Chains A and B, each alone.
Chain A
Amino acid sequence: AMEKKKTYIIHMSKSQMPATFNDDHTHWYDSSLRSVSDSAEMLYVYNNVVHGFSARLTPQEAESLETQPGILSVLPELKYQLH
Chain B
Amino acid sequence: TTRTPTFLGLDKSADFFPESDAMSDVIIGVLDTGVWPESKSFDDSGLGPVPASWRGQCESGTNFSSANCNRKLIGARYFSRGYETTLGPIDESKESKSPRDDDGHGTHTSTTAGGSVVQGASLFGYAPGTARGMATRARVAVYKVCWVGGCFSSDILAAMDKAIDDNVNVLSLSLGGGISDYYRDSVAIGAFAAMEKGILVSCSAGNAGPSPYSLSNVAPWITTVGAGTLDRDFPAYVSLGNGKNFSGVSLYKGNSLPNKMLPFVYAGNASNMTNGNLCMTGTLIPEKVKGKIVLCDRGINARVQKGSVVKAAGGAGMVLTNTAANGEELVADAHLLPATAVGQKTGDVIRDYLTSDSNPTATILFEGTKVGIEPSPVVAAFSSRGPNSITPEILKPDIIAPGVNILAGWTGAVGPTGLEEDDRRVGFNIISGTSMSCPHVSGLAALLKGAHPEWSPAAIRSALMTTAYTAYKNGRAIQDVSTGKPSTPFDHGAGHVDPVSALNPGLIYDITADDYLNFLCALNYTPSQISSLARRNFTCNESKKFSVTDLNYPSFAVSFPAESAARTGSVPSSSIKYSRTLTNVGPAGTYKVTVTSPSSSVRIMVEPETLSFSQMNEKKLYTVTFTAPSMSSSTTSIFGRIEWSDEKHVVGSPVAISWT
Contact = CB atoms under 8 A, between A and B. Distances in A.
A13 B153 CA distance: 20
Contacts of B190: 49-50
A72 B535 CA distance: 10
B63 interface: no
Interface stretch (B157-165, B297-305, B313-321, B352-360): B157-165
B82 interface: yes
A1 interface: no
Interface stretch (B180-188, B627-635, B643-651): B180-188
A15 B435 contact: no
Contacts of A72: 528, 531-532
Contacts of A79: 150-153, 177
B176 interface: yes
Contacts of B193: 48-50
Of A6, A9, A44, A83, the most chain B CB neighbours within 10 A belong to: A83
A56 to B, nearest CB: 5
Contact of B175 (A9, A15, A47, A82): A82
B169 interface: no
Contact of A47 (B161, B185, B433, B537): B161
Given A13-B537, A44-B158, A83-B174, A7 B85 contact: yes
A64 B558 CA distance: 42
A78 to B, nearest CB: 4
A11 to B, nearest CB: 4
Interface in B8-62: 32-33
B204 interface: yes
Interface string A47-83: 1111100101000000000000000110101111111
Contacts of B194: 49
B105 interface: yes
Interface string B402-442: 00000000000000000000000000000001110010000
B156 interface: yes
Contacts of B146: 80, 82
Interface of B: 32-33, 81-82, 85-86, 105, 146, 150-154, 156-158, 160-161, 164-165, 174-178, 180, 183-187, 189-190, 192-194, 197, 204-207, 216, 433-435, 438, 528-529, 531-532, 535, 537
Given A43-B81, A49-B161, A50-B190, 5 more contacts: A44-B157, A49-B190, A54-B158, A79-B152, A83-B435
Interface of A: 6-7, 9, 11, 13-15, 41, 43-44, 46-51, 54, 56, 72-73, 75, 77-83
